[in-house]
Structure 1
Amino acid sequence: MDAIHLPKSWNVDQIVEDLDRHGFTLIDDAYPQDYVHGLVEECTSNSNRFRDAAIQSGVVNNIRSDHILWISDEFKIAQHHIETLKQISELLNRNFYLGIKEVEAHFACYNAGEYYALHRDNPQGKNGRIISTVYYLHEDWQNDWGGELHLQDKNAQWHTIQPKPNRIALFQSDLLHEVIKAKHQRLSITAWLRSANVLF
């Protein structure tokens, strides 16, 4: 069995325990600061390529107002994060037998006044999304800037998660959640650990 290579600072046992008990977990100080700087630069230097986000049917509507840019092989710095998510997929497959096979991801930008209303990432369980992840890559954030992730865990308890810089939130894709309206630009990488290649 191949070894799993995750950052040494990540508490693997805590990640597995949190997901098992609550359906979500948080990883703070996920990456070294020099990597964070490079990733923010890669994201912001392509800001002119972001487009209005759509729901899975491809329709742009009033459930969300953020802007996204899908991450392809050209984004060399972001690919390191994708590779890390592939490693954690292996960890989750070994512990929970989830059958994760791939990762899809995009940069997301919430400008002031933008939000994502209450939803699930795998409605009717048809799109192959098993675990959702959000990596907050803005370098500064204040608690009164909005943009929080409001999440209902697997025990029906609600949590308000601050978009702290260099934090990763991982949660079951079937959990209800929303992004509270931002008061300041909020940058992230949203990614899904999936069981199959289903395109919409």
Structure 2
Amino acid sequence: MEAVQLPASWSVDQILDDLDQHGFSIIDNAYDLTYVEQLIAECTDNLARFRDAAIQNGVVSNIRSDHILWLTEDLKISNQHVQTLHALGQELNRAFFLGIKDVEAHFAYYNAGEFYALHRDNPQGKNGRMISAVYYLHDQWQDDWGGELHLQDKNDQWHTLQPKPNRIAIFQSDLLHEVVKAKHQRLSITAWLRSDASLI
């Protein structure tokens, strides 16, 4: 497979510095708008395949109310994003020796009134998730539509990150975070860069 190059809009040095200093980083204008349109179309064309999200072992929990579709090889457009995250994982390995080996990802949508309560993606190092990456897929978003990512950084400072279109929030998977209740349909791709094989 040909090596994937990171988009020019991704400043690797800035990402590495942000993760080192704060445990999270933001990439705005992540992709070319033509690709963004293709991603949104692939997501919305497959909404009928989504299912209620579970937290582990297929158990649906009342701490979250979103709906997901795991990314598999038949979803060609979104898998380009996954391959880009693989390339980012190699940069993170060189800088931080994280041992990232794989990426797992799913589409997610939140309808109005849906949320994801405070949690960690890798509590006490219980799984192989090292870095979480949330890409905001909707084509527009207003500040009063809710759906923000509320995140506690590695210095115990809280941040409220707007789900702006074509933005990626990257953060350590052990950081405490939540998705504030949305007031409008919110689309994203959630991914985890793992130090073990993906479970999907």
TM band (smaller chain): over 0.9
CA contact (8 A) 1:102 1:193 kept: yes
In the alignment, the residues of structure 1 paired with residue 198 and residue 145 of structure 2 have an alpha-carbon distance, to the nearest angstrom, of 35
Q: Once the 2 structures are TM-superposed, how far is the Cα of residue 57 of structure 1 from its aligned partner?
A: 3.0
Letter in 1 for 2:163: P
CA contact (8 A) 1:49 1:69 kept: yes
Mean CA deviation greater in 151-160 or 124-133: 124-133
Corresponding position of 2:186: 186
Query: Helix, strand or coil: the match of 2:65?
Result: coil
Residues 3-22 of structure 1: CA distance to partner in whole angstroms, max 9, x if unpaired? 87211121111101000000
In the alignment, the residues of structure 2 paired with residue 118 and residue 9 of structure 1 have an alpha-carbon distance, to the nearest angstrom, of 30
In the alignment, the residues of structure 1 paired with residue 113 and residue 77 of structure 2 have an alpha-carbon distance, to the nearest angstrom, of 29
Letter in 2 for 1:14: Q
Q: Once the 2 structures are TM-superposed, how far is the Cα of residue 117 of structure 1 from its aligned partner?
A: 0.2
Letter in 1 for 2:39: L
CA RMSD of aligned residues (A): 1.4
CA contact (8 A) 2:102 2:198 kept: no
Mean CA deviation greater in 37-46 or 49-58: 49-58
Aligned residue pair count: 199
In the alignment, the residues of structure 1 paired with residue 3 and residue 35 of structure 2 have an alpha-carbon distance, to the nearest angstrom, of 23
Q: Once the 2 structures are TM-superposed, how far is the Cα of residue 125 of structure 1 from its aligned partner?
A: 1.2
Q: Which runs of 4+ in 1 moved over 4 A?
A: none
Residues 99-119 of structure 1: CA distance to partner in whole angstroms, max 9, x if unpaired? 000000000000000000000
Letter in 2 for 1:117: A
Gaps of 5+ in 2: none
Corresponding position of 1:20: 20
Corresponding position of 2:101: 101
CA contact (8 A) 1:4 1:90 kept: no
Query: Helix, strand or coil: the match of 1:62?
Result: coil
Compute the TM-score of the two structures, normalised by the length of structure 2.
Answer: 0.97
Corresponding position of 2:197: 197
Corresponding position of 1:76: 76
Letter in 1 for 2:176: L
CA contact (8 A) 1:102 1:196 kept: yes
